[in-house]
Copies of this chain bind each other. A is one copy, B any other.
Amino acid sequence: MKQSLLLGIALLAGGSTSPVPAPNQEPGLAPVQIIAAAPAADWAAIAPSDLLVMDLGPDAKGAARRVVIQLVPAPFSAGWSSNIRALAAAKWWDGTSINRVQDGYVVQWGDPDGEDKAKAKPLPPGLKVAAKEDYAVPASSSLLQEFIKQNGGGTTVALPKDAYGASGEFRSGWPLGRDTDAVWPVHCYGTVGVGRDNPPDTGSGAELYAVIGHAPRQLDRNIAVVGRMIEGMEHLSSLPRGTGEIGFYKTAEERTPITAIRIGTEVPDLPRYEYLSTESKSFAAYADARANRRDTFYVRPAGGVDICNVPVPVRRVP
């Protein structure tokens, strides 16, 4: 069992991969049990200033629908993130809608008339234009080294090269892909990215999508990842699928209204959230258990796991 663990997952110190002995753990613990047993010190706070809170119109039964997104930290997608903060401050999304739900792929929201120059809602002034090079951060970037140092630094969980030619690692709660040149946040279930037109357009951040199916990793480094769902995902994933081309709704009536999108600091009743530190022993044990299920239900641990099948645990602060 320990051997198959080492095949699947290594612990990564700084920038170099070096297999080390597996963390001690009770045989048979399920990932949820490891999360439940993690000490308070293994949980890291998420700043409200890094949250994007989306309120949808009430559902068919009149219940409120709130979706909470965590924005990816700098140096990743910094230009788009800056635009998203400006759009939220301008209350730009209020009165826009969810316009596309393509089964097994994405939910997309923003201005339904965005493609129509005559009817499109004007964007606030001063938005940045990011370059396609900004979809990833150079591996040699001093900003990246700074980010790694600031956020737990040394040891974290690393995954060997995957089907997409990328190594995987977890830093400050984020699943990251890495090759010899660059590091980037990957597309998993619940990932939020920036819709765009064909290149050279890179998108402003006004049009956003969330992944509701199998990880579309082909989008990595082709489009900006800006965040991930941490609460209320089901309000998007259970929406009726669009019947138009690539899941767009055919009529305005089918769209779900967005009443407001705000940065977390502007939302008075927002709970506090925390994630299981990806630099903690609990996370290493959790990732190992995702790769090697030893709980009672399983008869054959896989001996490995892909990066999107190790979702970083996030919860309300107890």
Q: Which residues of A contact B (CB under 8 A)?
A: 4, 7-8, 60, 101, 103-104, 132, 135, 159-160, 162-165, 188-190, 198-199, 212-218, 220-222, 233-234, 237-241, 290, 293, 296-309, 311
Contact = CB atoms under 8 A, between A and B. Distances in A.
Nearest to A7: B165
Contacts of A160: 163
B213 A163 contact: no
Contacts of A241: 234, 237-238
B214 A215 contact: yes
B214 A304 contact: no
Given A104-B237, A241-B238, A302 B217 contact: yes
A238 B104 CA distance: 10
21 contacts: A103-B234, A103-B237, A104-B233, A104-B237, A104-B311, A162-B163, A162-B304, A163-B304, A164-B302, A164-B303, A188-B214, A215-B309, A217-B306, A217-B309, A218-B301, A218-B302, A221-B300, A222-B298, A222-B299, A237-B237, A238-B241
A233 B214 CA distance: 14
